Amino acid sequence: MRPPLFPVAIAVFILSSTAIAQTQHPRISMQTARAHALAAVPNGRIRSAELETEHGQLIYSFDIQVPRRSGIEEVQISAVTGRLVSRTHESPAAERRERRAESREHNPR
Protein backbone atom coordinates (compact mmCIF):
# COMPACT_ATOMS: atom_id res chain seq x y z
CA MET A 1 0.00 0.00 0.00
CA ARG A 2 1.37 3.41 -0.96
CA PRO A 3 1.46 6.34 1.51
CA PRO A 4 -1.04 9.16 0.91
CA LEU A 5 0.23 11.86 -1.45
CA PHE A 6 -1.15 14.83 0.47
CA PRO A 7 1.62 14.94 3.15
CA VAL A 8 4.25 14.48 0.46
CA ALA A 9 2.79 17.34 -1.57
CA ILE A 10 2.81 19.60 1.48
CA ALA A 11 6.46 18.76 2.21
CA VAL A 12 7.46 19.48 -1.41
CA PHE A 13 5.60 22.82 -1.33
CA ILE A 14 7.25 23.89 1.94
CA LEU A 15 10.71 22.94 0.74
CA SER A 16 10.27 24.66 -2.63
CA SER A 17 8.87 27.88 -1.13
CA THR A 18 11.77 27.96 1.36
CA ALA A 19 14.23 27.55 -1.50
CA ILE A 20 12.53 30.36 -3.44
CA ALA A 21 12.70 32.68 -0.42
CA GLN A 22 16.39 31.88 0.07
CA THR A 23 17.22 32.73 -3.53
CA GLN A 24 15.51 36.13 -3.47
CA HIS A 25 17.72 39.18 -3.54
CA PRO A 26 16.77 42.67 -2.39
CA ARG A 27 15.76 44.96 -5.21
CA ILE A 28 15.75 48.07 -3.04
CA SER A 29 18.58 49.29 -0.86
CA MET A 30 18.62 49.43 2.92
CA GLN A 31 18.81 53.23 2.61
CA THR A 32 15.60 53.36 0.56
CA ALA A 33 13.86 50.99 2.96
CA ARG A 34 14.96 53.18 5.91
CA ALA A 35 13.36 56.20 4.26
CA HIS A 36 10.09 54.28 3.78
CA ALA A 37 10.15 53.07 7.41
CA LEU A 38 10.78 56.56 8.78
CA ALA A 39 7.96 57.93 6.63
CA ALA A 40 5.64 55.42 8.31
CA VAL A 41 6.77 56.57 11.79
CA PRO A 42 7.21 60.36 11.85
CA ASN A 43 9.74 61.68 14.41
CA GLY A 44 11.09 58.15 15.01
CA ARG A 45 14.72 57.09 15.37
CA ILE A 46 15.84 53.73 14.04
CA ARG A 47 17.36 51.62 16.84
CA SER A 48 18.06 48.52 14.76
CA ALA A 49 17.68 47.30 11.20
CA GLU A 50 18.13 43.95 9.52
CA LEU A 51 17.44 42.11 6.30
CA GLU A 52 15.62 38.84 6.93
CA THR A 53 13.23 36.30 5.49
CA GLU A 54 9.94 36.14 7.32
CA HIS A 55 6.98 34.02 6.22
CA GLY A 56 8.81 33.34 2.95
CA GLN A 57 9.19 37.04 2.17
CA LEU A 58 12.46 38.99 2.06
CA ILE A 59 12.04 42.07 4.26
CA TYR A 60 13.91 44.84 5.96
CA SER A 61 12.85 44.98 9.61
CA PHE A 62 13.29 48.20 11.61
CA ASP A 63 12.86 48.84 15.32
CA ILE A 64 11.96 52.52 15.65
CA GLN A 65 11.85 54.48 18.91
CA VAL A 66 9.32 57.32 19.09
CA PRO A 67 10.06 60.17 21.52
CA ARG A 68 7.90 60.16 24.68
CA ARG A 69 6.45 56.73 23.87
CA SER A 70 7.42 53.50 25.57
CA GLY A 71 8.28 50.45 23.52
CA ILE A 72 9.12 50.46 19.85
CA GLU A 73 7.41 50.45 16.49
CA GLU A 74 8.47 47.47 14.41
CA VAL A 75 8.20 48.34 10.73
CA GLN A 76 8.73 45.80 7.97
CA ILE A 77 9.42 46.90 4.41
CA SER A 78 9.50 44.50 1.46
CA ALA A 79 13.07 44.24 0.17
CA VAL A 80 11.67 43.37 -3.25
CA THR A 81 8.91 45.97 -3.76
CA GLY A 82 9.69 48.63 -1.14
CA ARG A 83 6.13 48.47 0.16
CA LEU A 84 5.15 48.55 3.82
CA VAL A 85 4.54 44.96 4.92
CA SER A 86 3.59 45.65 8.54
CA ARG A 87 3.81 48.12 11.39
CA THR A 88 3.27 46.95 14.95
CA HIS A 89 3.85 48.46 18.36
CA GLU A 90 5.83 46.36 20.81
CA SER A 91 5.59 47.15 24.50
CA PRO A 92 8.82 47.06 26.52
CA ALA A 93 7.83 43.63 27.91
CA ALA A 94 7.13 42.25 24.41
CA GLU A 95 10.44 43.66 23.20
CA ARG A 96 12.31 41.89 26.03
CA ARG A 97 10.57 38.59 25.22
CA GLU A 98 11.52 38.93 21.56
CA ARG A 99 15.16 39.65 22.43
CA ARG A 100 15.31 36.58 24.69
CA ALA A 101 13.75 34.39 21.98
CA GLU A 102 16.19 35.67 19.37
CA SER A 103 19.08 35.11 21.76
CA ARG A 104 18.04 31.49 22.28
CA GLU A 105 17.61 31.07 18.52
CA HIS A 106 21.14 32.31 17.80
CA ASN A 107 22.77 30.65 20.84
CA PRO A 108 21.16 27.23 21.34
CA ARG A 109 22.30 25.32 24.40
Query: Tens digits of per-residue pLDDT, 59-107?
Result: 999 999 999 999 999 999 999 999 999 999 998 888 788 778 878 877 7
Q: Could you tell me which residue, 95 or 6, shows the higher pLDDT?
A: 95
Q: How far is Cα 55 from Cα 89, in angstroms, rounded to an integer?
A: 19
Kindly report the pTM of this predicted structure.
0.69
According to the model, what pLDDT value does residue 94 have? Answer: 82
Cβ distance 13 to 7 under 8 Å?
no
Task: With cut-offs at 50, 70 and 90, classify the pLDDT of residue 12.
Answer: very low
Task: With cut-offs at 50, 70 and 90, classify the pLDDT of residue 4.
Answer: low
Q: Could you tell me which residue, 86 or 3, shows the higher pLDDT?
A: 86
Given a cut of 80, whether residue 19 has pLDDT beyond it is no
Count CB-CB contacts under 10 A for residue 28.
17
